[in-house]
Structure 1
Amino acid sequence: MAVHEGKRKLDSIPVGKLGVIPLEGCRDLAGKVDKFLVDWRTERENEHKNSLAFAGYQRDSYMIKASIARFGTGEAKGTINESIRGMDLFLLCDICNHSMTYKMCGRENHMSPDDHYQDLKRIIAAVGGKARRITVIMPFLYEGRQHKRSSRESLDCAIALQELVSMGVDNIITFDAHDARVQNSIPLHGFETIQPAYQFMKGLLNNVNDLQIDSEHMMVISPDEGGMKRAIYLANVLGLDMGMFYKRRDYTQVVDGKNPIVAHEFLGSSVEGKDVLVIDDMISSGESVLDVARELKARKAKRIFIMATFGLFTNGLEEFDEAYNNGTITRVLTTNCIYQSPELLEREYYVSCDMSKYIAFIIDTLNHDSSISDLLNPNNRIQALVNRYRNGEME
């Protein structure tokens, strides 16, 4: 059993019989999570596991059978195909899985985030208030970038969160929320935003064997002012200097719903000869982060490693291929919290950071109503990982 698994105290009675309901676009990730849960609970010794309070604690799978049926008009209904009465339910939803399709009036439609979110509500509605507790794990927070109002516009993220809790959701867990202050819309309910800093470092150190992790040879960069917090955290944990770019925008025009970026201006010490970790919450089109990489190369940075929780790559991979081939970037790391295309996984420069074990830890711990504070702060785990790397003890 893993060291971290052994350290957790899970002697308390579970909130309810555990159930995991993955929406269709999240089944691969949920399958990995389920395997961890089954293995841990099979191996775990607990003197009370045969008591009534621990009924159904050890099972072959914790996945609950649920489905979404589509009608010819594109309308749908959610169905849960087994009893969930009194269960502690965890719903997993990937709103970014654009590979999913459905038929509408004979035509094939790709599912949008709106479609995935609507399906999530259908499954919650199908629960019908019979579960003991509902936790939604939505790695990419629906409408997370529409978290504030700068003109007469909708506040979609806040409305979505309020909708979910009004339907009976108790807790919402997301990863690297664009702005965690959106939780103010549901102040009396659980909302956790989790940073994958440990998984980034694990992915990097497992794939690059000649890094010198000190302030003389490495630096952490935030590509914009909004991402400074995560960059400052990683720099402090690793003992590195931190720099940032800020975006100079043209506020006289709007292109594709946003003010175009005129230039990236750099604030920080010299990056010359240093490996650079560029960390952000997401890669959307990739235009911004590649501009930052080019600016860093112009300032004579050695190697550039791009880390982003979500790799959307909405404009394809061609520009990243070109940047890799001409030496601008060395690696791109994103998590498997959202859909990854087969083309992305084939890229030589791409590193996928697996979050399934981390999500399984969270589910297992919350089901016992235990604290997840140690899971939310990966400082000690990162330090131990770096020490193993320096000692040549990586797996």
Structure 2
Amino acid sequence: MQSLTFPADQSVKNLFGDEPELESYGPIALIVHQLDPPLAERINHQLASRRRALAKLNPEILQIPGYVRNDYRIRVDLSRFSSGEGKARVIDTVRGHDVFILTDVLNYGTSYKRYGVDVSMTPDEHFLDLTRLILCTRDSATRIHVIMPFLYEGRRYRKSDRESLDCGAMLRSLFGLGIDNFITFDAHDSRVANAVPRSNFESFPTSYQSIRTILRTVPDLRVDRDHMMIVSPDEANISRSIFYASAMKVPLGIFYHRRDFKYVDDVLAQTTSMTYLGDSVKGKDIILVADLLDSGNDFINCASALKMRGANRVICTASFAQFTEGIAQLRQAWENGIIERVFSTDMAYRPPEVLSSPWYTDIPMADDLALLISALNHDASLSRLMAPAKRIDALLKSLGHKDDTARRQLSFDDLEKQN
């Protein structure tokens, strides 16, 4: 496991703005069986490191049952019958615990035998396993928090014609089972929270972590209006790209789909073409910003169009990467100089072939997930974690001297210094 350190010898103050600091709601129980194991290990490591640091400053914390542990993970058994039906069992007790269930519905790296054939787990199956875990723990846990980094059915956030409104139905189902909080990251459209107006739904941005990792990995990027632009690859990511461009104080460009209608053999036909709207990209480094890399074709098409317009380097960043059609096309685009590098968070499963690719870089999020879990356990305000603009501004101002903070991922102590 990659070593993740916590500045335990430095001051650890209340980072969430609550004075006095609120008490813990109970011992933390992490259910991370559905996550990629390395991510689960890093989250537990960061959480344990933070609490050991707090215990050094406040020894009385050690008297709180279950507050300081080496391992907060709870053992569970998610198994399936050979027919494909599933079942869940929580092995360790969660009575009186503050339960956090972390799930990655994109984790196709897990598989099971169905009628003697190995099949990978689908998002639908992961979601049903999540509901089983809630049913196993609801009767004895103090509270249940669901942290689902990639929002299941997030692209089905609105209804058109005779389509199903899956995301809203999913949220209502989970809150109907009795969960207390639902946390996701970079929801495709956070207005899906309107489906559960009386419940606690939060969508956290990953913009700060993305910008930090990009600037650390590509240190010769010049963040100014003359040398960089942010470009949205489609209409759905315009608001996200506007925030990046505003925070970094660089121009914005947009790709949108132009739809033309004409009659062909007395039948009205629609043709769609991708059109660029924005300033000249000639000689500039471009960052394409999206919430999801599906097959990667949209990124490749946009990058090709930008290179034809004279763009220098094209960097792609997405909150989550699926690579549904493999990595051959993206690898070819990198070899041809169309795409410089692809960035994505480590909160969704990435196969080994992606992690070993020279053109791919993870955006580490374990530190932030551990901090979020600690905040929820104390019922602390989440405002500072949800508003990254100040941290981005501080990061850009620090580029001149490139201190140690600018070279590594966000740590708990960083938030204290920047606020």
| 1:297-326: CA deviation from partner (whole Å, max 9, x where unpaired) | 111111111010011111111111111111
1:221 aligns to what SS in structure 2?
Answer: strand
Contact conserved, 1:129 with 1:168, CA < 8 A, in 2? Answer: no
In structure 2, relative to structure 1, the CA distance for the partners of 1:50 and 1:114 (3 Å cut) is same
- Asked if 1:21 is matched to 2:31, the reply is yes
- The answer to whether 1:46 aligns with 2:47 is no
Deviates most, 209-218 or 42-51 = 42-51
Mapped partners of 1:155, 1:250: distance in 2: 28
Judge conservation of contact 1:98–1:111 (CA < 8 Å) in 2.
Answer: yes
Which secondary structure state, in structure 2, belongs to the residue aligned with residue 141 of structure 1? coil
Q: In the aligned structure 2, how far is the partner of 1:355 from the partner of 1:382?
A: 16
SS at match of 2:368: helix
SS across alignment from 1:134: strand
Report the equivalent of 1:240: 250
Q: 1:350 pairs with 360, 383, 398, which one?
A: 360
Say whether 1:166 aligns with 2:176: yes
Q: Which residue of 1 aligns with 2:292?
A: 282
Matched position secondary structure for 2:94: coil
Look up the equivalent residue of 1:298 and give its one-letter code.
Answer: M
Q: Deviations over 1:90-139 (max 9, x none)?
A: 10000001121111221211110001001111111111421111110101
Kindly state the Cα deviation for residue 151 of structure 1 after the two structures are TM-superposed.
1.4
Instruction: Supply the AA of the counterpart residue of 1:49.
Output: I
C-alpha distance in 2, partners of 1:191/1:81? Answer: 29
Contact 1:23 1:120 in 2 (8 A): no
Gaps of 5+ in 2: 1-5, 263-268, 408-419
Q: Displacement of 1:189 after TM fit?
A: 0.9
Which of 287, 290, 312 is residue 302 of structure 1 equivalent to?
312
**Native 8 Å contact 1:218 1:275 kept in 2:** yes
Counterpart residue number, 2:105? 95
Aligned CA distance change for structure 1 residues 200 and 161 (closer, same or farther; 3 Å) = same
DSSP 3-state at the match of 1:77:
strand
Q: What residue is the counterpart of 1:256 in the other structure?
A: none
Is contact 1:25–1:100 with CA below 8 Å preserved after alignment? no
After superposition, the Cα gap between the structure-2 partners of 1:128 and 1:379, relative to the gap in structure 1 and judged at 3 Å, is closer
Shift of 1:388: 2.6
Name the SS of the counterpart of 1:31 in structure 2: helix
Tell me the SS of whatever aligns to 1:282: strand
Question: So what's the TM-score if we normalise by structure 2?
Answer: 0.88
* Cα shift readout 1:44-89 (whole Å, capped 9, x = no counterpart): 12364144xx321001111111111221221121111111112111
Which one of the candidate residues 56, 73, 84 is aligned to 2:94? 84
Aligned residue for 2:212, secondary structure, equals helix
**RMSD, aligned CA:** 2.0
The answer (yes or no) to whether the contact 1:23–1:94 under 8 Å persists in 2 is no
**Match of residue 266 from structure 2:** none
- Equivalent pair of 1:249/1:261 in contact (CA under 8 Å): yes
Other-structure match for 1:113: 123
**Secondary structure class of the residue paired with 2:136:** helix
**Cα displacement (A) at 1:262:** 3.1
Aligned runs of 1:198-213 on 2, under 5 Å? Answer: 198-213=208-223
Q: Give the AA of the match of 1:46.
A: N
1:137 to 147, 154, 157: 147
Question: Are the aligned partners of 2:34 and 2:102 in contact in 1 as well (CA < 8 Å)?
Answer: no
Separation of aligned partners in 1, 2:81 and 2:357: 38
Match of 1:8 among 5, 15, 21: 15
Distance 1:101 1:245, change over 3 A: same
Structure 2 counterpart SS, 1:191: strand
- The CA deviation at 1:392 is 3.2
Q: CA deviation at 1:223?
A: 1.0
> Is 1:193 paired with 2:193?
no
- Within 2, Cα distance between the matches of 1:48 and 1:5? 15
TM-score (norm 1): 0.93
String of CA shifts for 1:357-386, please: whole Å, max 9, x gaps: 111110011101111110111122222222
The AA in structure 1 aligned to 2:273 is A
Report the counterpart of residue 84 of structure 2 in structure 1: 74
CA distance in 2, matches of 1:88, 1:176: 24
Give the counterpart letter for 2:146 in structure 1: V
Q: Return the offset for 1:27.
A: 3.2
Residues 68 and 78 in structure 1, CA contact (< 8 A), matched pair in contact too: yes
How far did residue 281 of structure 1 move? 0.4
Cα distance change, pair 202–251 in 1 and its aligned pair in 2 (3 A) = farther
Find the residue that maps to 2:93 and give its secondary structure: coil
Partner in structure 2 of residue 365 of structure 1: 375
Q: Sequence identity, in percent? A: 37
TM-superposed CA distance for 1:4, in Å, is 9.9
